[in-house]
């Protein structure tokens, strides 16, 4: 059974409820905070769930305050779950002067190296622990789940979907890190979390997972052409090549002039929610 959760705040929005909650996580061995928007339709019926995974340096708060997803989620009848990106707390091992590692940069993997293995278990947290908590406490139809995310969260969404195709009806991403094992801003973190044997990194790398036989029905990806991380960190053309080789349909939309910020995310989040809603429909 999941640990009991505490309500931090709740506010009515677009006829639904935006809440923030916390609980003691057994996966991460610390208190974790997350946000859930419940649409007005949940007063009458169970609603499908869209998971939104945030990027480097973010918490649940960034998308909750800047993502502008609630109006469309309320219209479509979608529960939106926004977890944190990593364990947090005074006793959590961290590199406070390194925004690409530690608190805020969990990379949605299960660390195997000390001193990180005890707390940095975000893969297990997102795939196992938090869904059980959502199912126990919210009017969620857990047979209809979708996943999306931004940047590091896009990496998380793609890899989690590829490893759990029976769980998710759809997957999309906004400016995802598609090959973190070779990207300059993620490779050092992978080594610290997972060790120097790069064979272990493949389980958390989208392109490697497709090479190793993982499949998903289709992906939607939006990427800004003016994103400062495009050429060194994100490299969507690697995903395009990997999906073509694996036979995975990919709708890659290069959005002219958009950067990596929440101005980009808030512009296209409605498209992603509509796309997920179509695939989460009981008739799909």
- Is the sign of the CA dihedral 148, 272, 38, 143 positive or negative? negative
**148 CB-near residues (< 8 Å, 6+ apart):** 50, 51, 52, 53, 154, 157, 171, 172, 173, 174, 272, 276
**143 CB-near residues (< 8 Å, 6+ apart):** none
The Cα–Cα gap between 214 and 158 comes to 11
- Which runs of consecutive H residues, i.e. helices, occur in the chain? 60-66, 70-76, 122-124, 130-137, 152-163, 187-194, 206-211, 236-246, 262-280
DSSP letter string over 63-84? HHHHS--HHHHHHHT-EEEEE-
Provide the token pair at 131: 């869904």
Asked about 23 being catalytic, the answer comes back as no
Beta strands 168-174 and 47-53 are unpaired
Asked about 260 being catalytic, the answer comes back as yes
Asked about 13 being catalytic, the answer comes back as no
Q: Scan for tokens 């990997």, then name that residue.
A: 242
Among the listed residues 151, 170, 172, 181, the single catalytic one is 151
Which among 156, 124, 126 has a CA at the least distance from the CA of 56?
156
The Cα–Cα gap between 150 and 265 comes to 8
**263 CB-near residues (< 8 Å, 6+ apart):** none
Among the listed residues 110, 227, 272, 276, the single catalytic one is 227
Among the listed residues 23, 260, 272, 276, the single catalytic one is 260
Q: What angle do CA 24, 25, 26 make, to 5 degrees?
A: 120
List the catalytic residues: 151, 227, 260
């Amino acid at each position: 059974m999941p640990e009991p959760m505490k309500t931090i705040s709740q506010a009515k929005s677009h006829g639904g409820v935006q809440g923030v909650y916390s609980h003691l996580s057994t996966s991460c061995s610390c208190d974790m905070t997350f946000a859930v928007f419940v649409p007005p339709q949940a007063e009458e019926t169970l609603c499908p769930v869209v998971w939104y995974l945030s990027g480097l340096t973010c918490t649940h708060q960034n998308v909750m305050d800047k993502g502008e997803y609630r109006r469309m989620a309320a219209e479509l009848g979608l529960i939106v779950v926004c977890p944190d990106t990593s364990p947090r707390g005074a006793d959590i091992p961290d590199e406070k002067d390194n925004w690409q590692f530690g608190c805020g940069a969990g990379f949605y993997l299960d660390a195997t190296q000390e001193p990180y293995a005890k707390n940095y278990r975000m893969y297990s947290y997102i795939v196992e622990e938090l869904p059980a908590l959502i199912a126990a406490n919210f009017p969620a139809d857990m047979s209809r789940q979708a996943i999306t995310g931004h940047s590091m969260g896009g990496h998380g969404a793609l890899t989690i979907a590829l490893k759990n195709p029976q769980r998710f009806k759809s997957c999309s991403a906004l400016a995802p890190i598609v090959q973190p094992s070779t990207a300059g801003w993620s490779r050092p973190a992978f080594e610290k979390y997972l060790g120097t044997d790069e064979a272990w990194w493949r389980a958390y790398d989208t392109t490697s997972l497709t090479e190793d036989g993982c499949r998903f029905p289709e992906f939607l990806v939006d990427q800004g052409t003016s994103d400062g991380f495009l050429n060194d960190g994100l490299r969507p053309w690697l995903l395009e090549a990997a999906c073509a080789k694996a036979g995975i349909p990919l709708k890659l939309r290069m959005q002219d002039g958009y950067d990596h910020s929440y101005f980009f995310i808030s512009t296209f989040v409605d498209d992603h929610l509509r796309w997920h809603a179509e695939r989460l429909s009981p008739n799909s």
